[in-house]
Amino acid sequence: QSALTQPASVSGSPGQSITVSCTGTYSDVGAYNYVSWYQQEPGKAPKLMIYDVSNRPSGISNRFSGSKSGNTASLTISGLQAEDEADYYCCSYTNSSTLVFGGGTKLTVL
Amino acid sequence: QVQLVESGGGLVKSGGSLRLSCAASGFTFSDHYMSWIRQAPGKGLEWVSYISSSSSYINYAESVKGRFTISRDNARNSLYLQMNSLRAEDTAVYYCASLLWSTYGFEYWGQGILVTVSS
């Protein structure tokens, strides 16, 4: 199972919106609504930001939103803040009953 | 509060074995699927394995299938990963994580434990 494809890096200025894409295939992202997104700050464990494509866990800011179209899922962060600077990973369930992560995207807040 | 605490990591020679443990508290462990996820130094996340709440369903990444065994003890609120035939490419921080009820999001994570395999 190949890793999902994410851009290596994205950047934006405070207050702007950015979108991170996550491209898979008809066997994973395209097949199920089990896409999740994680934020990882340096030296820390990842944190769940979005599950089931577009649901936010309790306590996660509504500046974070998720969507999916075909084989590509997206994470959008609006009203960008300095504290959003981190690595972001997507993850999808697959038709082999396994899970696969994306390669990760480094978000820089300019 | 929810806590997942990994232990058992360390330095091991190529071909050797290691058993990781994850002690859970603050939630109903026996109700949740659990998983191991790893991260090689400077690299991204890689899913390793998951186990259902009753141990009925287990699956592994191809990279560890046949070498690693996941298990759990609901009476002890503990998750395990037996790692055999270790290779240099297994060097990573290993995280245990609980899955959200009835879906595949990793809700809670441990702090991670480093496994280093030397050649």
Structure token pair of residue A41: 């700050």
Q: Distance from B49 to chain A by nearest Cα, in Å?
A: 8
Q: Any residues with CB less than 8 A from the CB of A96 and at least 6 apart, and which?
A: A1, A27, B59
- Would you say residue B25 has pLDDT above 80? yes
Q: Which two tokens stand for residue B100?
A: 């959200």
Q: What is the dihedral of CA B57, B109, B67, A25, to 10 degrees?
A: 70
Nearest residue of B to residue A8 by CA position? Answer: B44
A57-110 per-position pLDDT tens digit: 999 999 999 999 999 999 999 999 999 999 999 999 999 999 999 999 999 999
Residue that is written with structure tokens 């790893």 in the block: B38
3-state DSSP call for residue B30?
A: helix
**Residue B102 has what pLDDT?**
81
Cβ neighbour number for residue A1 with a 10 Å cutoff:
18
Q: For the residues B20-24, what does the mean pLDDT come to?
A: 98
Buried (b) or exposed (e) across B26-45, using 16+ Cβ within 10 A? ebebeebbbbbbbbeeeebb
CB–CB of B89/B31 below 8 Å? no
- When CB atoms are compared, the residue of A47, A89, A96 closest to B45 is A89
Give the whole-angstrom CA distance, residue A59 versus residue A53. 17
Region of residue A6 (left: phi > 0; alpha: psi -120 to 50; beta: else): beta
pLDDT at B101 (0 to 100): 80
Write out chain A residues lying below 8 Å of B110, CB-based: 45
Mean pLDDT of chain A: 97
pLDDT of A1 > 80? The answer is: no
CB contact under 8 A, A36 and B110: no
What proportion of chain A, given as a percentage, has pLDDT over 90? 98
Across residues B26-42, what is the average pLDDT?
97
Interface residue ranges in chain B relative to chain A, Cβ cutoff 8 Å: 35, 37, 44-47, 50, 57, 59-62, 95, 100, 103-107, 109-112
Which tokens in the block code for residue B74? 């609901």
A84 three-state secondary structure: helix
pLDDT of res. B22: 98
Per-residue confidence (pLDDT) for residue B105, from 0 to 100: 95
pLDDT digits (tens, 9 = 90+) for B80-92: 999 999 999 999 9
Q: Give the total residue count for chain A.
A: 110
Proportion of chain A in helix, strand, coil states, percent, rounded to 5: 5, 50, 50
Q: Which tokens hold the place of B68?
A: 């690693």
- pLDDT tens per residue, range A13-45: 999 999 999 999 999 999 999 999 999 999 999
A2 has pLDDT over 90: no
